[in-house]
Structure 1
Amino acid sequence: MRIRTILTTASLLVLAAEFGGATTSVQAATATPYTKAPPVESFNPWMVRLRVLGVLPDAGGSSVNVPGVPPLSSPNSGLSISDQVIPELDITYFFTRNIAAELILGVTKHHIGGTETLHGLEIGEAWLLPPTLTLQYHFTDFGAFKPYIGAGINYTVFFNQSAANTPFAGLAVTDLHVSNQVGAAVQFGFDYMLDSHWGLNFDVKKLWLRPDYSAIVNNAIPVTGRANIDPWLVGGGFTFKY
């Protein structure tokens, strides 16, 4: 009887030990060690750029119509429009990490002259306010190098227009008016980010801008036509992302 009691007690101890070991193994297997979650990169949708912008018109194909005077009209004459360098501000809003809208703001002043048979004739000058809105796709798979492409619309306002009123070969432009114009725009460029906020930017845009104009020569002769400005906008500067 004593031997049976000892054996029974020993069996219970063995079972208890096995059960306890199994429980410990299950607890060890199911326990999840505490690890600190990696930081989540914050996403702020706003970006601004400050650039130096070269405005390079391509006035080829501009027309001049002087009624009754074919030698002074196209195709015997045309227009030239001066280049300009200006500061320019760009505001960009990201809808996602890849899709954004960009608005550029700046004003530029251009001198207008004649070409061909009108070469040497000063026509006048005008200020341009050409806000341009583009929808962009940004590529994000190249690390700090972030290229993008875009397309959109431009609306150019011409203001402070003035005729040259400078005599040349018996002619002087005494009045000038250039109409506001809507045009298409395409662009490509890139940002190279130096850190999470600051970067360098290079950007090229092409605008199709062909406003109608009218002028008066010698206070009597009406002149009409179309100015094919079609500028390239080439800029470089700094990027700041919030």
Structure 2
Amino acid sequence: MKKVLTLAVAAALAGGTAMTQAYEAGDWILRLGATTVAPDADSDVVGDLGVTVDVDDNTQLGIIGTYMATEQFGIELLAATPFSHDIDVNEIDAKAGDTKHLPPTLSIQWYPRGGNSGWQPYVGVGVNYTYFFDESVASDLEGIVGKADLDLDDSFGLSASAGVDIPFGEHWAFNVGVWYIDIDTTAEVTLRDAGNAKVKFDVDIDPWVYNIGIAYKF
């Protein structure tokens, strides 16, 4: 990431502020890049097993659209191709399961340099909805508890974000962005070999989300 930022800053300084028009009311900005979800996970103890779980990182194609309502305020929608995460057991070297999710996040952003040419930093606050799907229990865990199914509740939560567009053309810019998202879910494991007994536990995923890519202003 440090190398990308250095190249972006060098390109912006070489071209000067005339390289891009100011962000104005009515502009659309499309950002595409490598978006990484890096959970800072914490879970309750899982039933009588006396273990907790962690959630691995994953990187997908980020598709981020922003509409400039005024020179300084924009409305952003963070979307991406589905993220896929392994769920690991903390106390032993074992995989508990895996899941996919989509985390659309709607934010209101403030651009302090809106209306001025050149680089465009921004900060925002918003709301996230995370939809979990394709959950499954890993063979490692089934070796301990027998055949089982996994279900994760969808999540609503708040988010905070910051980023910067560094121009390298009239419409093009490098983009670096970061979000912190409150994602909390309840996991339910159905033990099919134990009469469909159910084990529930809460998992705070609370990821940092990073994007490195390009932006295009329409």
TM-score by length of 2: 0.81
Question: Are 2:95 and 1:122 aligned?
Answer: yes
The verdict on how the C-alpha distance between 1:102 and 1:42 changes in structure 2, with shifts beyond 3 A counting, is closer
- 1:110 maps to 85
After alignment, is 172-181 or 201-210 more displaced? Answer: 172-181
- 2:110 maps to 1:137: yes
Query: Is 1:52 matched with 2:34?
Result: yes
Give the equivalent residue in structure 2 for 1:30. Answer: none
Q: Secondary structure at the match of 1:200?
A: strand
Within a 5 Å distance, the mapping from 1:129-168 to structure 2 comes to: 129-140=102-113, 143-166=117-140
> Is residue 97–residue 141 contact of structure 2 (8 Å, CA) maintained in 1?
no
1:201-232 per-position Cα deviation (integer Å, ceiling 9, x unaligned): 00000001111111034632532111111010
Report the residue type matching 1:232 in the other structure.
Answer: W
Unpaired runs of 5+ residues, structure 2, are 1-20
Q: Which has the larger Rg?
A: 1
Inter-partner Cα distance in structure 1 for 2:107 and 2:86: 27
Amino acid aligned to 2:99: A
Aligned residue number for residue 174 of structure 2: 200
Partner of residue 239 from structure 1, selected from 204, 211, 215: 215
**Take 2:22 and 2:54, find their aligned partners in 1: how far apart are those partners?**
51
* TM superposition shift of 1:123: 1.8
RMSD: 2.2
Say which structure is richer in strand.
2
CA drift at 1:63: 0.7
- In the alignment, the residues of structure 1 paired with residue 191 and residue 95 of structure 2 have an alpha-carbon distance, to the nearest angstrom, of 11
Using CA pairs below 8 Å that are at least 6 residues apart, which structure has the higher relative contact order?
Answer: 2
**Post-superposition, which runs of at least 4 consecutive aligned residues in structure 1 deviate over 6 A?**
none
Question: 95-104 vs 156-165, which deviates more?
Answer: 156-165
Does residue 89 in structure 1 map to residue 89 in structure 2? no
Q: Give the alignment of 1:176-191 within 5 angstroms.
A: 176-191=150-165
Change (3 A) 1:193 1:108: same
* Aligned mate of 1:225, from 176, 201, 216: 201
> 5+ unaligned residues in a row in structure 1: which ranges?
1-39
Residue 74 (structure 2) pairs with residue 100 (structure 1): yes
Deviation at 1:171, TM superposition (A): 3.2
How many pairs were matched up?
Answer: 193
Q: Share of identical aligned residues, percent?
A: 28
TM-score by length of 1: 0.73
Give the direction of change, closer, same or farther, for the CA distance of 1:205–1:181 in structure 2 (3 Å limit): same
Paired AA for residue 227 in structure 1 = V
**Aligned equivalents of 2:159 and 2:152: distance in 1?**
20
SS of residue paired to 1:166: helix
